[in-house]
Amino acid sequence: MRNGLISHVEPGSAAFDGGIVPGDCLLSVNEQKIQDIFDYRFLTTEEYVSLKLEDANGEEYYVDIEKDAEEDLGLEFVNPMMAEDRACANHCVFCFIDQMPPNMRETLYFKDDDPRLSFLTGNYVTLTNIPERELHRIVQYRMSPINVSVHTTNPELRVKMLGHRKAGDVLKKIDILREGCIAVNAQIVLCPGYNDGAELDRTLADLSARTDCIASVSVVPVGITKYREGLAPLRVFTKEECRQVIEQVEGWQQRIFKEKGTRFVYAADELYLKAELPLPAYESYEDFPQLENGVGMCALLDFEVCDIIAREGKRLAKQYAQAVPRKVTLATGKAAYPVIRGLAEYVSKHFTHLHAETVAIENHFFGEDVTVAGLITGQDLRRQLEGKDLGDALLITQNMLRAGEDVFLDDLHVSDIEKELGIPVIPVPDSGEAFVKAMIGGTV
């Protein structure tokens, strides 16, 4: 596949007005060959751009465009990065991909560590697999923010944890981004006996000294599947250890907030849920900078559900007062079960036609230590729910499915589960409005 192959041209855009169509291939901008999306974004910010393209018949042609500075051309590409993904050369002790079962689809075994994906899709990168010249390209092209998997700032420990002899210079590389005013969101995958305790304090001290560059830090517990044969010894955190981590993180939050007006570091929801401690208040997550890492998702969902009910509850209750009785089952992971059950009960109290039950799905596919909803497979849903009275619909989080598709991690489709269970399966996006709408069976 050619890296500059165009998949979509936005109607009314500069490219559309220039006669460019899907299936054409972009070869160069202002006589400069495009290496990747970085080059494309940078070179097309000018007010005047000259594009060299090749049509589906192999004929080359030029399009000269005059536009506003920074105006997007309106092109989308079959390969969003316009280059091959860069594979990861690390051998992290906690790598989830190394813990995948055999015989799954090939894409699930690919390890990426590409800063271009970090900018485009929010992926986290370790920075060990790119030379300094690539960091300077990030600065040159203003690709901000970049999400970095730090894990530890102790050079020797980082080399050990990442299994890469060049992994110890993460602060040096972050400082290159810092000097170029590139924002960084940092991630710490916390592993018992490795980077917790005093090592976590060291890492947070180093990162909090760089708040002019590092916007936020998430502390996420390591995920362990049952497929660890031949891998480094590793275990999950106990309930008491989760409480200790939370106390440690919240201590840093208080200190940094007093000094700099931001909490800066956040513990993942999973830590609070396993510790059986109340989740922080909605306001504690500020602008929710680490949602993709499972930080603040529960608080945000709770806030949005309560907000919808407060604003629209009476109107909706009246609207559905004469509705046909409706029973729904919500299936989620063991970690989020108390939260989802509580929200389901809260919504049900406002609608006389609604009855809801929540079920915690045990993860037999990856192992019982995996408790997050996003890693539940179709076969675990099917086996644990078959034969039960699930009512009129089964609600699942959209995170169980491949992005933009209806496929579970084990390649079963939503339609397969619907056929087996005999009821509609409704994937629900992560929003309070979608949650309420799916439960009541209508619009909000």
With beta carbons less than 8 A apart as the criterion, state whether 323 and 293 touch: no
Q: Indicate the pTM of the whole model.
A: 0.86
d(CA 185, CA 410): 31
pLDDT at 82: 80
* Residue 288 Cα distances to 243, 282, 284, angstroms: 22, 9, 9
- Model confidence pLDDT, tens digit, residues 349-358: 999 999 999 9
For 57, the token pair is: 């018949």
d(CA 326, CA 354): 5
The DSSP H or E segment spanning 358 is strand 354-361
- Model confidence pLDDT, tens digit, residues 92-145: 999 988 998 888 877 776 676 666 666 666 688 899 988 888 899 889 888 889
- pLDDT-derived band at 80 (thresholds 50, 70, 90) equals confident
